[in-house]
Amino acid sequence: MAGATASSVRSKDELVSILRKIDMINPVIRLMLEFEARTGLRYVDASQIKWADVMINGVYRESFTLVMSKSYNKRLSNGMSEANARQASLKTIHLNDEMVALLDDLKEFTGGLTVLFESTHHHAKGGKAITINYVNRKLKEVAIELGLPYQLSTHSMRKSFSMFVLEAGGQIHDLQRLLCHSSLAVTDHYVRGLLDNSRQLTDSISFSV
C-alpha cells in the first residue's frame, strides 16, 4: 500500500528518534519496526514470523529462513514452478547479538504467544500480528510530531535498510539478494530514489543577484 510513496529515513539518528517516539506509544510496534529496519523485511513477512521460527530447544537459532511472499507470488505469476519460486524467494535472517537483544525485549510482551509481533489488544484474534493500518497510523502521528518532510510508513523501514546497506558499501547485486528481488533491474529501480543526487546538484547552483 504505502510502498510506492514511502520514503526512507534520512539517517540512523532520525530512525532512532522515530523508534523512541513509537516505543512510548507501543513497544511491540517499535520492536517490529526495528526488526524490519535490521532485516529489510516487508510487514507482510515480518508479521507472519512465529517464535517457533526463531527458537529451537529453548534457545535462539543462529539463523532462520522464510519465503518472501511478494517475491514468491511474483515468480509464480511469471511462470516459475512452485518449487523453484519458493527456493528463489528464500531469505535467511541471521540473529546477531543486537537481534537477540531485540528478541529478548520482545519476549517480555509476546513471549508466551504464537507470533512474534502478536497483538495483545483484548479484542484481537489470537495468533494475529498488530495490523499494518494501526502501525501506519501511529507512524503518521510520529511523522507529524517530528515534522518529517516525507511519508513515513512500515515500508520506510525496508527502504531505510536498503539505504544503510548501500552506505555500508554494499553493491546493487548484494541488495538484490538481500531484498529477494527477481532481477537487478527491479533493485535498480527500487533504490533509484535513494541514490538520487539531483538535490545535491541543484543546490550547487548557488548565486545571488
Q: Are strands 59-60 and 90-94 parallel, antiparallel or unpaired?
A: unpaired
**Encoded amino acid at 139, one letter:** L
In-domain check, residue 5:
no
Q: How does residue 48 score in pLDDT terms, banded at 50, 70 and 90?
A: very high
Classify each residue of 161-180 as buried b or exposed e, where b means 16 or more C-beta atoms within 10 Å of its C-beta: bbbbbbeeeeebeebbebbb
Lowest mean pLDDT among 69-78, 97-106, 185-194: 185-194
Q: How far apart are CA 178 and CA 162, in angstroms?
A: 9
Mean pLDDT, residues 62-82 taken together: 92
128-148 residue pLDDT tens: 999 999 999 999 999 999 999
The pLDDT of residue 91: 94
Q: Left (φ > 0), alpha (ψ -120 to 50) or beta: where does 201 sit?
A: alpha
Distance CA(24)–CA(1), nearest Å, equals: 25
Asked whether residue 29 is assigned to any structural domain, the reply reads yes
Q: Is 60 exceeded by the pLDDT of residue 35?
A: yes
Asked if residue 124 lies in contact with residue 117, where contact means CB atoms within 8 angstroms, the answer is: no
* Number of structural domains the chain divides into: 1
* Least confident stretch, 9-18, 39-48, 120-129: 120-129
Average pLDDT over residues 93-99: 97
- Residue 207 maps to a domain: no
pTM of the predicted model over 0.75: yes
Output the CA–CA distances (angstroms, integers) from residue 119 to 49, 127, 140, 162, in the order listed.
13, 8, 19, 27
Question: Residue 1 domain-assigned?
Answer: no
Assess if residue 167 is contained within a domain. Answer: yes
d(CA 21, CA 138): 10
Q: Which of 63-67, 125-129, 199-203 holds the top average pLDDT? A: 63-67
209: in domain:
no
CATH number at residue 90: 1.10.443.10
Give burial (CB, 10 Å; 0-12/13-18/19+) of 202.
exposed
Mean pLDDT for 164-189 is 89
pLDDT, residue 126, reads 77
Decide if 51 is inside a domain.
Answer: yes
What is the span of the domain harbouring residue 57? 12-200
Q: Is residue 143 part of a domain?
A: yes
Q: Do 172 and 194 contact (CB within 8 A), yes or no? A: no
Instruction: Say if residue 25's pLDDT is above 60.
Output: yes
Contact of 50 with 99, CB cutoff 8 Å = no
Please give the mean pLDDT across all residues of the chain: 90
